[in-house]
Amino acid sequence: MSRGPVLFDLEAEATPRPSVSDAPPVPDVGMVAPQGQAMQIAARLAARKPSKLVRLFWWLLSTLIGALVSIAAWNFVMGLMASYPILGMAMTVLIGAVLLVLALLCLRELAAFSRLARLDGLHHDVGQALSQDDLKAARSVTDRLVALYKGREDTRWGRDRLAELRGDQMDAQALLG
């Protein structure tokens, strides 16, 4: 039961088709733009302090996991020391090296937090100097900013330009803006 080819005659249309440009515009249905309510709720939830019960749970869980990992590492190294003393000593040195590197990483992160606190203090002082239009405070802030970046060679041109034009500024907005 096969059929032969089918012929579609496209030129024989009696009525012209409507043009797309003649179509009416799509009406707005009064859709309200999103207000970011989900993000506001998420930010509020993330910003609030967890309850004492939740903090106690996480403290106990981290203490338990830390104790289990420490005991497992201790038993592993002691078993190696008993079976293969040289391999046990090598593992002891390796674990000590890992702990030393971990301590150095912690110190590096603490130094980064210290730098961030310093930058936050500068940002706060800039805001204070601008809001009070205090030229003396603005000069103090720029001095601290120059001292912060004095060791970086890539900021030399900006520091030199600031030193050159600093005396010409008559208000805090011009100096800090």
Angle at 161 between CA 160 and CA 167, to 5 degrees: 100
| Tens place of pLDDT per residue across the chain (177 aa) | 568 888 777 766 667 778 888 888 888 777 677 788 888 888 888 888 888 999 999 999 999 999 999 999 999 999 999 999 999 999 999 999 999 999 999 999 999 999 999 999 999 998 888 888 888 888 899 889 888 888 889 988 988 888 888 888 888 888 887
d(CA 128, CA 108) in angstroms, rounded, equals 30
pTM of the model: 0.55
Rounded distance, CA 36 to CA 44, Å?
Answer: 12
Inter-helix orientation angle 156-165/135-148, to 10° = 160
Distance CA(172)–CA(177), nearest Å, equals 8
Domain boundaries, the chain: 108-177
Two structure tokens written together for 35: 């207000």
> What does the DSSP 8-state code read for residue 152?
-
Give the other-Cβ count within 10 Å of 135's Cβ: 17
DSSP string, 27-69: PP--PPPP--HHHHHHHHHHHSPPPHHHHHHHHHHHHHHHHHH
